[in-house]
Amino acid sequence: MSATNNPVDPAQIAVGEEFAAGPSAAARLEGEPATLGGRVARWASGGVVTAVVVLIALLWSVPTFGLFISSFRPAAAIRDSGWWTGLVPPWHFTLDNYATVLQSQGIGQAFINSLIIAIPGTILPVMVAAFAAYAFAWMRFPPSPGCAFPGATGSFWGSWRCLWCRCR
């Protein structure tokens, strides 16, 4: 193809870009068709796929949104009409459903117990691991003679692997 039919302005290309990017980039600059993988990638990165993914995500979230709206409606309103009627005024939202659940059969206490276990059970191991990682980062491990793993000496894991070899 001639330079006049080229859709890309050569002034916009950085010097040496056609060589650094490889022959496929130079072929695209000349207007030759890309490979099948390139065409699929270009199509997938376009607006059609993005629109389809956004549509699927919106449709997928509708039932969750409906449950969320229903959780704030009185029990009679949930029985008598659909959740979408809660979106138009007059709104009759209430927290009675949440109060009923938290007060019935010890659910509130179970929730607090879960927090008491989960929060320290997450924070304490992370803190201990951070302290250990800091210590291991500054420690030097001596090489082990007779280690079966060349190049593994002088590191924490290399020392443990060599210890494993000696114990076997």
Ranges 51-60, 104-113, 119-128: which has the least confidence: 104-113
CA distances from 46 to 40, 49, 72, 119, 150 (A): 10, 6, 40, 43, 50
What's the confidence (pLDDT) of residue 117? 97
15, pLDDT greater than 60:
no
Please give the mean pLDDT across all residues of the chain: 76
User: Average pLDDT for residues 110-116, to the nearest whole number?
Assistant: 94
What's the whole-model pTM score? 0.44
Give the confidence band of 33 by pLDDT, cuts at 50, 70, 90.
low
Of 68 and 164, the structure prediction assigns the larger pLDDT to 68
Question: Is a pLDDT exceeding 90 seen at residue 45?
Answer: no
Most confident range (mean pLDDT) of 24-28, 31-35, 58-62, 158-162 is 58-62
Tell me the domain boundaries of the chain. Answer: 1-45, 47-104, 117-168
Kindly tell me the burial class for residue 45, based on how many C-beta atoms sit within 10 Å of its own C-beta (0-12, 13-18, 19 or more): exposed
